[in-house]
Chains A and B, each alone.
Chain A
Amino acid sequence: MSETTRPRIGMWLSLAAILAIVIAMVVVFSSGFGKDPSLIASPLIGKPAPEDSLAYLEQDGVLSLADLRGNVVVVNFWASWCFPCRQEHPVLEAAAAAYADEPVRFVGVVYQDEPRRAIAFLDQFGRAEKTAYVIDPESRVAIDFGVFGVPETFFISPDGTIMAKKTGPLSPFEISSTIDTLLAGGTPGDLNEGQTQKQSGG
């Protein structure tokens, strides 16, 4: 008896599984119809920022985002091979100087780049005030933040919540208005999308 029924139960189970997977697939895919897929916000907004530790680029020791609690934190992912980052670099420098006396900290995370080249980049274009330049050799932090090109910038509130994200280079106005809103305890609005660069060469 069981000899003949067992394969039948298995068969019905697998049929049910196939049907369930396919229905789920149809639901997921059809939810995408009629939307513009090029607008990508971060699902991390409103969530606590990842707290991985990051080694400093030019000195010993590590930095954890948790250490910066109480400050507005601007986390910027950049690389020496990234051309939009060159355009953005002076904007970040100016902002770091302007907010030097406020509880605002800047973190520059080097994304998919060699420390040597990143340091050469800073030698050439300058270092911003009160900015921690850190490296992310295995892209662990970049994956946690869902980075898919540089530059990308995240704004974190004093209690450690990700409040806003900007894809592409920041303008002076975007950076100051977002920081001011966060300092005042408000919620910044959407930032416009910009062009990022994926790493080339493979």
Chain B
Amino acid sequence: MAATLGILGVLIALISSITLAFQGFKVQFASTKTPVTRLKYPVYGLLGGGILAMLALEIGLLSNDFSLAYVANNSTSSTPLLYKMASAWAALEGSIVLWGFILAVFVATVYFASQRLHKPDALGAGALAIMGIISTFFFGMMLTISNPFEVCTQAAQVGCMATSPFPWVHAQAALEGFGPNPLLQNHPLMAIHPPMLYIGYVGMSVPFAFAMSALMIGSGGTDWLRRTRSWTLVAWVFLTAGIVLGGLWSYEVLGWGGFWAWDPVENASFMPWLAATAFLHSAAVQSRRGMLQSWNFVLVISTFSLTILGTFITRSGIINSVHSFTQSPIGPALLWFLAVTLVLSFGLFATRSHMVASAPRLDSLASREGMMLANNLILAVFTFVVLTGTLYPLIIDAITGSEVGVGRPFFDRLAVPIGFLLLLTMAVGPITPWRSARGAVVWARIRNPLRFALAVTAVGIVFGRRSLSVVLAILLGTFVIAVVARQLWDTSRRRAESRQENLAAASLYTMRSDPGYWGGQIAHVAVAILVIGIALSANLSLRNQVQLTPGDTTRFAGFDLTYVNTFDRVESNRFVTGALIQVVKNGRVVAELQPRLNQYANGRESVASPDVRGSLAGDLYLSLRAIDERQVTLDLFWFPVLWMVWAGGFLVSVGGLWAWLVRKPAREELTTTGQPA
């Protein structure tokens, strides 16, 4: 039943997408006569079909319907509920269904927003048509090369051996499924990290669709930017959170103690994030000063293309990585989609850019827009560096036939200085006036923060370690934070004095008066915290490997670790072996940690589950490497202030969320702006 429902959903969605594409362009060219509501049925069809396909897949998974090949190959009856649901995106075909479902939801929100305008809307109709083309591609893949609703015609003992794409053929259900990849059922984060990334990825198609529509109409201006602002922010917030959750997943599941390794799949999510971040900034310049119009088209096309490139990299199997899917026909299909997207979108831009771009000249480099330009250039260089490092092995392979890896040193050496440059623009940029900045004004705004940062750094140098990157991270990080704090304090204090309000109310008012600006400032503070956290935890970490027999105690990072005993237990989907480690600090038992090895039925190798004791001072991280009756081998890690990495990372999202949720302040209530002129 799930197969029939699913195929039905995919069919409805596909037909609706094709109709949406044709009708959308028709409405766009005849928009003065035809209202957007003409697109109602295709949009409803796409939304309904997308929901139906997603539901059918989940029903199949939750009801252990092993007559569906996807369920037989990626789930078992003993898989815990959460991972059963998450199995919908744990493998290739299912992840495309989630993609299509999210796209359908975005199409519907674009339609509703367009309908609310109550006037002919050529821009919105064109954007819907573009999104119709994109969803035609994804639902088309589901019906052909990546069909998640294939039925099992020949069952193996565990899983499915032969399949048919037609739901009405005689299905032969496997008795039991094979189960998800062990790595993907080892931590609850697996259930939320991929959907968040996908919302971020798919959301970037909205500004792209509007940009394409604006190019086709040949009308420039800020209309498309203004209208896509909310979607861009939402996509960016989810993309950010998805990347941070991915780091957390890596830290908690992979047992190597790290959260970022410049792995191609990590880079695949980081590149569109960099481009989207640049876009958020340059979009602000265009709305405010009408500049960077062409550049914004380039950025939005690049961001969307990079999301497709990322999808391609993770699903083509051409790059080696921890979390890539296996090789399949989806790889070539995505490659062609990417190629066609690039040719059509940049081609359209090349032929139409003179119609949409008429930019006022930059008055002075020493201005807010000058700083934004600098930040955009740095972000573009950063994206290019990551792109080069990620693709270099492929390019070399294609040219010389030899295979080569690009390692962490390459990325670190370039990313660290670029990161520090970005911090510098983050500190000075937001307090630089628009148009032309006088040195005296800027100096007055950074003088005290700079002194504060220098003082903190001096204390750090006296009492701490003197590695250059730690010193620079603390100096620039505290500088960024202090500049924002001074700015908020200054603006709110003046208001509090003139209106006799208390300071808390005044500062809340300030932050609400210009949510775009202050959301950005929250994100800047967050990045500063993140950078300090990364620098400290990476440079001041301790690591050791010990072998212990029961009763042994070892000293590590100020803790006495005693190996109490071994334990094992059977859980619904796995066999768990672990070591109980008592952690004593200053004569007091502070924790009992249980690093484990999990053995899954369908996995040859066991998966380590590290156990972490976090505190404000840092994380004690124990990972089990080997275990037998006589002894355990443990990797011990101490990462100081690692919480700053997670706190900073999530606070970046909060900045975006602030800008989105608090937007459109009631004008009559908020008369002044918190932003310096």
* A42 in the interface (beta carbon within 8 A): yes
Q: Interface SS of chain A: helix, strand, loop or mixed?
A: loop
- Contact B397 A32, beta carbon cutoff 8 Å: yes
Binding stretch for chain B, among A51-59, A96-104, A184-192, A193-201: A193-201
Q: Which of A14, A38, A83, A139 contacts B625 (CB under 8 A)?
A: A83
Knowing A43-B400, A201-B537, say if A35 contacts B407 (CB, 8 Å).
no
- Contact B397 A33, beta carbon cutoff 8 Å: no
C-alpha gap A11/B545 in the complex (Å): 61
Which residues of chain A come closer than 8 Å to B412, judged between CB atoms? 139
Which residues of chain B come closer than 8 Å to A1, judged between CB atoms? none
- Contact A18 B346, beta carbon cutoff 8 Å: yes
Binary contact readout B400-416 vs A (1 if CB under 8 angstroms, 0 otherwise): 10111111111011000
Binary contact readout A63-88 vs B (1 if CB under 8 angstroms, 0 otherwise): 00000000000000000010100100
Q: Which of A22, A39, A86, A199 contacts B339 (CB under 8 A)?
A: A22
Residue pairs across A and B with CB atoms within 8 Å: the count is 134
- Contact A40 B413, beta carbon cutoff 8 Å: no
C-alpha gap A199/B538 in the complex (Å): 10
Knowing A25-B339, A28-B395, A29-B394, say if A37 contacts B258 (CB, 8 Å).
no
- Contact B354 A7, beta carbon cutoff 8 Å: yes
Which residues of chain B come closer than 8 Å to A34, judged between CB atoms? 327
* A5 in the interface (beta carbon within 8 A): no
- Contact B398 A43, beta carbon cutoff 8 Å: no
* B44 in the interface (beta carbon within 8 A): no
Which residues of chain B come closer than 8 Å to A2, judged between CB atoms? none
Which residues of chain A come closer than 8 Å to B637, judged between CB atoms? 200-201
Q: Which of B312, B319, B335, B538 contacts A201 (CB under 8 A)?
A: B538
Q: Which of B331, B350, B402, B413 contacts A33 (CB under 8 A)?
A: B331
C-alpha gap A29/B308 in the complex (Å): 14
Q: For the complex formed, measure the closest distance between the CB of B367 and the CB atoms of chain A, giving whole angstroms.
A: 29
* B192 in the interface (beta carbon within 8 A): no
Q: Which of B258, B316, B320, B635 contacts A38 (CB under 8 A)?
A: B320
Knowing A30-B332, A202-B260, say if A41 contacts B403 (CB, 8 Å).
yes
- Interface residues in B300-337 (C-beta closer than 8 Å to A): 312, 316-320, 327, 331-332, 335-336
Q: Which of A35, A39, A147 contacts B409 (CB under 8 A)?
A: A147
Which residues of chain A come closer than 8 Å to B393, judged between CB atoms? 37, 40
Q: Which of A27, A32, A149, A201 contacts B541 (CB under 8 A)?
A: A201
Q: Which of A18, A26, A45, A142 contacts B347 (CB under 8 A)?
A: A18
Q: For the complex formed, measure the closest distance between the CB of A163 and the CB atoms of chain B, giving whole angstroms.
A: 15
Q: For the complex formed, measure the closest distance between the CB of A98 and the CB atoms of chain B, giving whole angstroms.
A: 27
- Contact B318 A32, beta carbon cutoff 8 Å: yes
Q: For the complex formed, measure the closest distance between the CB of A167 and the CB atoms of chain B, giving whole angstroms.
A: 9
C-alpha gap A149/B317 in the complex (Å): 21
* A62 in the interface (beta carbon within 8 A): no
**Least CB separation from B264: chain A residue:** A37
Q: Which of A31, A33, A86, A149 contacts B545 (CB under 8 A)?
A: A86
- Contact B639 A199, beta carbon cutoff 8 Å: no
C-alpha gap A33/B391 in the complex (Å): 14
- Contact B319 A32, beta carbon cutoff 8 Å: yes
Knowing A198-B408, A202-B537, say if A83 contacts B319 (CB, 8 Å).
no
Knowing A11-B351, A112-B409, say if A146 contacts B543 (CB, 8 Å).
no
- Interface residues in B242-262 (C-beta closer than 8 Å to A): 256-261
- Contact B404 A42, beta carbon cutoff 8 Å: yes
- Contact B396 A43, beta carbon cutoff 8 Å: yes
* B55 in the interface (beta carbon within 8 A): no
- Interface residues in B418-447 (C-beta closer than 8 Å to A): none
- Contact B407 A147, beta carbon cutoff 8 Å: yes
Which residues of chain B come closer than 8 Å to A142, judged between CB atoms? 407, 409
C-alpha gap A40/B538 in the complex (Å): 28
C-alpha gap A42/B406 in the complex (Å): 11
C-alpha gap A125/B256 in the complex (Å): 23
C-alpha gap A149/B404 in the complex (Å): 12
Which residues of chain A come closer than 8 Å to B395, judged between CB atoms? 28
**Least CB separation from A199: chain B residue:** B408
Which residues of chain B come closer than 8 Å to A147, judged between CB atoms? 407, 409
- Contact A146 B398, beta carbon cutoff 8 Å: no
Which residues of chain B come closer than 8 Å to A202, judged between CB atoms? 258-260, 534, 537-538
Q: For the complex formed, measure the closest distance between the CB of A144 and the CB atoms of chain B, giving whole angstroms.
A: 10
**Least CB separation from B410: chain A residue:** A143
C-alpha gap A149/B407 in the complex (Å): 7
- Contact B397 A31, beta carbon cutoff 8 Å: yes
C-alpha gap A31/B319 in the complex (Å): 12
- Contact B316 A148, beta carbon cutoff 8 Å: no
* A138 in the interface (beta carbon within 8 A): yes
C-alpha gap A146/B541 in the complex (Å): 26
Knowing A15-B347, A18-B347, say if A198 contacts B261 (CB, 8 Å).
yes
* B342 in the interface (beta carbon within 8 A): yes
Knowing A42-B404, A200-B543, say if A29 contacts B318 (CB, 8 Å).
yes
Which residues of chain B come closer than 8 Å to A30, judged between CB atoms? 332, 335
- Contact B350 A139, beta carbon cutoff 8 Å: no
Q: Which of B257, B317, B410, B413 contacts A37 (CB under 8 A)?
A: B317
Question: Knowing that A32-B394, A149-B408 are A-B contacts, what are 5 other residue pairs whose CB atoms are under 8 Å apart, sorted by A's residue number?
Answer: A33-B318, A40-B393, A142-B409, A147-B407, A148-B407
The 3 tightest CB contacts between A and B, nearest first, are: A148-B407, A32-B318, A202-B538
Residues of B within 8 A of A (CB): 256-261, 312, 316-320, 327, 331-332, 335-336, 338-339, 342-343, 346-347, 350-351, 354, 391, 393-398, 400, 402-410, 412-413, 534, 537-538, 541, 543, 545, 625, 635, 637, 639
